[in-house]
A and B are shown apart, each in its own frame.
Chain A
Amino acid sequence: MPRPTVATALRETSFYGAVAFFFVLAAFPFYWMVITSFKENSDLYNVQHIPFWFNDPPTLDHFRYLFEKTLFTTWLLNSLTIGLCVTAITLVTALPAAYSLARMTGRNGEALGIGIFLTYLVPPTLLFLPLSRVIANLGLQNSMWSLVVVYPTFTIPFCTWLLMGFFKAMPPEIEEAAIVDGCSLFGAFIKMAIPLSLPGILTTVIFTFTLTLQEFVYALTFISSSDQKPITLGVATDLIRGDIFYWGEIMAGALIASIPVAIAYNLFLDRFIAGITGGAVK
């Protein structure tokens, strides 16, 4: 029936209007980061100029300033170190725990699994006061290593839950066959379960790393020296002199830190959802 009526035209228009609305809503702040970070200051701080595009030619000044005159590279390295260490700690503890909980029969495994997951819901804003004393007792105050100690408190519960979902989706017959063939229980875990769940483990690694990048509250509480800050904290709080915000530099830094996380999320999103709901529903 090729008869385009007013009703269908209206429906199409409103549909694409909705698409455009969500497009702008989600993307505009990031477009704003990009345009701010490449703009000349004279262009940036002029209310007569149209803010949406370049009135003067774009510049790399803000990026140059960020890398040459600030501790930005130090923050990048700090975040990388923290992320790698936390990921290692998390994998070593969460991987065996998740496997064990997934294969544990009866109510105990289920209850323990839920118990570990619930600790993920205990917020940093409830724990930061006692934890800052723990950190002080460990002699780690004002050091990025305090974050290496504290971040596993939420990455371990989260990843145990995620990995539990992946392990449960794996048929136990595979390991049972390996055990019949002379493998020990632990050997079956190392030689069969881990290689078979590599996609799940990779997802977990990526999300642990992004969780450490996203964290802000603990970093804000425990670290005040500029050279110990992770990138999120450094960009958000350290590019301000007195009352003056270095908007070009702040947006440039935010942009650089956001890109890897944005890519990782988009690549691994489906697996992430499968893990979270797999652990929850089955």
Chain B
Amino acid sequence: MVAIADSVPKPASRFRFILDRRDVLGSLMVAPAILYVLLLVGVPFLMAVYYSVSAYTIYDPSWRFVGLANFEQIIENPVFLQTLTNTFIFTFGSQTLGLVLGKFGALVLLRPFPGRKFVRALIILPWAVPIALATVAWQWMFDSLYSVINWTLIALGFIDRSQAPNWLGNPDLAMLSVIVVNAWRFFPFAVVIFLAGITAIPQDVLDAATVDGAGFWRRNYQIIVPMILPIMAIGLIFGIVFTFTDLSIVFLMTMGGPVGATSVLGFAGFQTGIVSGDVSHGAAISLFMLPVLLVVVIFMLRFIRRREI
């Protein structure tokens, strides 16, 4: 083979010879994607880390190193501590609610009934539709005066028009509202994940369990749940990451208000770093997401490795 290639010394064939080496071609094919990601995710990430220990603002774009001063100032600010707590409440609340809704939604869709396909198509909608647009629809449903939810509650006689709740104006209700909207947005994903997991379980495993005397709950919690745990974990990881770092729902519905009651890390980072132009403090606020992201990533890596054995 080599002799034949040498006897035709055209540059094209030599080029081709290199391209026919599996390792060379493989690296060449991966390179553009890796470069793009390194340049526009890797480098900016390092820049974000450096911003957080510098005195950089858009008015004074210096790279002066100030150590951990930014972090100290942030932690001493009680408003930030509330933001941090809010972020955990927001994430935990909406993921729990989303998982519960997802599990029951999947149970409902597992049983055949007329119109099941149509209902499934509708259940996908909250997850498919751009979240900013769906959030605006919810904002309109939570409107202080024309809220359809309040109208219904009044019409059913639960409340009086004078004591109708101002959903986005009351600190606790505002938090509840953004949690509900986020859970609403994620539950279809959970439904889909649960369905994919449950339908992948071989029927004979379930039949064998039934023959051995396992009832509905036992089948559910000792066979189905352990078997769909991997796929569930992946779904949950996505959910946690995207909720913990979310900005759009809070930005559109409450602007972090009333008085910071729904401010979350992503929103605070945006307000400080982009709106106020205090880039270094904004970057430091955003970096508080990192520990949670790291835990999630480590969990995911260990989990993938365990699957391989």
Chain A residues near B (Cβ < 8 Å):
15-16, 18-19, 22-23, 25-27, 29-30, 32-33, 36, 44-45, 47, 50-52, 92-94, 96-97, 99-101, 103-104, 112, 114, 116, 118-119, 121-134, 149-150, 152-153, 156-157, 160, 184-186, 189, 210, 213-214, 216-217, 220-221, 232-233, 235-236, 245, 247, 250-251, 253-254, 257-258, 261-262, 264-266, 269, 273, 276-277, 280-281
Q: Which of A33, A45, A121, A266 contacts B146 (CB 8 A)?
A: A45
Interface pair B148/A32, CB less than 8 Å apart: yes
> Interface 1/0s, chain B 276-309, versus A by CB < 8 A?
0001001100110110010011001100100100
Dominant SS at the B interface? helix
Q: How far is the CA of A254 from the CA of B125 in the complex (A)?
A: 13
Chain B residues with CB below 8 A from A103, complex form: 26
Interface set of B (CB-CB < 8 Å, partner A): 16, 19-20, 22, 25-27, 29-30, 32-34, 36-37, 40-45, 47-48, 51, 101, 104-105, 108, 111, 113, 119, 121-138, 140-141, 145-146, 148, 151, 155, 161, 184, 188, 192-193, 196, 230-231, 234, 237, 241-242, 244-248, 251-252, 265-266, 269-270, 273-274, 279, 282-283, 286-287, 289-290, 293, 296-297, 300-301, 304, 307
Separation of A40 and B215 alpha carbons in the complex (Å)? 56
Contact between chains at B128 and A265 (CB < 8 Å): yes
Closest B-chain residue to A179, C-beta based? B20
- Which B residues lie within 8 Å of A44 (CB)? 146
What CA separation (Å) do A189 and B20 show in the bound complex?
Answer: 12
Question: Which residues does chain B contribute within 8 Å of A210, judged by CB atoms?
Answer: 128
Complex interface: chain A residues within 8 A of B125 (CB): 26-27, 30, 258, 262
Interface of A, secondary structure class, is helix
The complex places the Cα of A210 from the Cα of B192 at a distance, in Å, of: 18
* Interface pair B130/A130, CB less than 8 Å apart: no
Question: A236 with B124: in contact, given A23-B119, A129-B48, A257-B130 (CB under 8 Å)?
Answer: no
Known contacts A23-B122, A123-B241, A236-B132, A277 near B196 by CB under 8 Å: yes
- Pick 13 A–B contacts, CB within 8 A, sort by A: A121-B293, A122-B41, A123-B242, A129-B51, A129-B282, A130-B51, A134-B44, A210-B128, A214-B130, A217-B270, A220-B251, A258-B134, A265-B124
Inter-chain CA distance A122–B286, complex, in Å, is: 11
Give the chain A neighbours of B111 by CB distance below 8 A.
15
Q: Which of B48, B282, B304 contacts A114 (CB 8 A)?
A: B304
Given A121-B293, A152-B40, A250-B140, 10 further pairs, Cβ under 8 A: A29-B141, A29-B184, A47-B145, A92-B32, A123-B244, A124-B245, A125-B286, A130-B45, A262-B129, A281-B231
Known: A22-B105, A129-B48. A216 touches B130 (CB 8 A): yes
B146 touches A160 (CB 8 A): no
For residue B121, which residues in chain A have a CB less than 8 angstroms away from its CB? 266
Min CB distance B215 to A, Å, is 16
- Report which of B34, B36, B124, B304 forms a contact with A266, defined as CB distance below 8 A: B124
Contact, CB under 8 Å: B137 / A33: yes
Query: In the assembly, what is the distance between CA of A269 and CA of B135, in Å?
Result: 22
Is there contact, CB below 8 Å, between B36 and A156? yes
User: Are B129 and A132 in contact (CB-based, < 8 A)?
Assistant: no
* Cα distance A133–B47 in the bound complex, in angstroms: 10
